[in-house]
Structures are given as C-alpha cells and as structure tokens.
Amino acid sequence: MSRWHNIYLDNFAYFFTATVAGYTPLLSSDSVKTLVFDCWNFYRREYHTNINAYVIMPEHLHLIIRSDSGENIRKFIQHSLRKISMKIMNNFRSPLEDRSCCTRTKEKPNLFKNHTRGKAVHRFWKERAKGEPIFSDTVMKQKLDYIHMNPVKRGLVENPLDYLYSSYRNYHLNDQSTFQIDSVDILLL
C-alpha cells in the first residue's frame, strides 16, 4: 500500500484532514480543543498562514488554510500536529485514562505504539494529514459546507450554529470568540 503524499503549491488554499489513530475521541474535551487553538495560533504567526475554516471533531479535525508559500503550509501542518500530539500525550494523560475513550483502558498506550514508524515512541495521528489544494470557488464552497455540516451529520448537534468548535459561527454570526479565523468572502456564497 502506498502512502499519501501531499503536494504544496504557493498561493493556494488547502483542505486538510487529520485523524487520531484508532479513531479514539481524544479531541473531545474543551481543554484539548483550547490546546489545538493555541498551537494553531502560534504556528499561523510563525509560518504566515491563514486559517479560513475549521472544525474539531472528537477524533479528527478539518482545516482550510492558505499561505503565499506552500512550504509554510507544510511546516504549519507538520509542526502544529506534532505539537498537539506531544502535548496531549505528555501533558494531558487524563484523556488516555478516560474510560469513555476506549473500552479497555490498558489498550490505549498500546494502540498508539502499534501505529509507530521511525523514531517515535507513539504515533498519535492515524496517518499523515491529507491536504487537498482547492482550485476553484466551487470546491472551496463544497469544502466549507462539508466542514460546517460535519457535527450535524455526526449527530453532535442539530444546527451547525450550536457547535462551538467550528468556523460556522465565525461566518454566520461574525462570532470570533471561540477562535479567530481569516475569513474569505467567497465562502459566504
């Protein structure tokens, strides 16, 4: 089986998906979501990257990001996901010990160890984050709708306005209180 390889182009928006190994819902708690936002904010400044849309689901996340430099997008994704996983694995042991995440608590550290490649002790993310360049306004709108309807389709909320960890509220209520995005006018079509 071949591994997914992202292609990074300058001046393009990208739709990214990152999934926790074993689909374990380790992104569920508010403290973990705050950690994700903190990492994103740090690396968006570090690599001059705009976050146009997002959703944080219990076991995966989606982003639409843009930069003048494809290399900055690569670094943003690589470093932010690494930092998020390290902080969760090292500083937030409670999600790994929370019985609601897995049926048998003792299997959780082994679950992540089984996904290890290279020098890592544990592999937090299922695989490399998939990034798809967005080549048209139509695709941009489709990806935005997909991101914002994800919590509704999963049954987490009935209305996307009710989900706090999505950019839907940013666009439709101009609510930047949970996380500030770099909005794009085309997304409102």
Instruction: List all residues 6 or more positions away from 169 whose beta carbon is below 8 Å from its beta carbon.
Output: 161, 163, 175, 178
pLDDT recorded at residue 90: 77
pLDDT recorded at residue 189: 40
- In whole angstroms, what is the distance from residue 106 CA to residue 136 CA? 46
Q: pLDDT tens, position by position, for the chain (189 residues)?
A: 445 678 888 999 999 999 999 889 999 999 999 999 999 999 999 999 999 999 999 999 999 999 999 999 999 999 999 999 988 887 645 544 444 444 433 444 445 555 445 555 567 888 777 889 999 999 999 999 999 999 999 999 999 999 999 999 999 999 999 999 998 876 444
CA distances (Å), 161 to each of 37, 148, 175, in order? 19, 9, 10
**Amino acid identity at 137:** D
SS3 of residue 75 by DSSP = helix
pTM over 0.75, yes/no: yes
CA distances (Å), 14 to each of 10, 138, 150, 164, in order? 10, 14, 18, 22
pLDDT recorded at residue 4: 60
Domain residue spans of the chain:
12-188
pLDDT recorded at residue 5: 75
CATH class of 12-188: alpha beta
Give Cα 111 distance to the centre of its chain.
20
pLDDT recorded at residue 6: 82
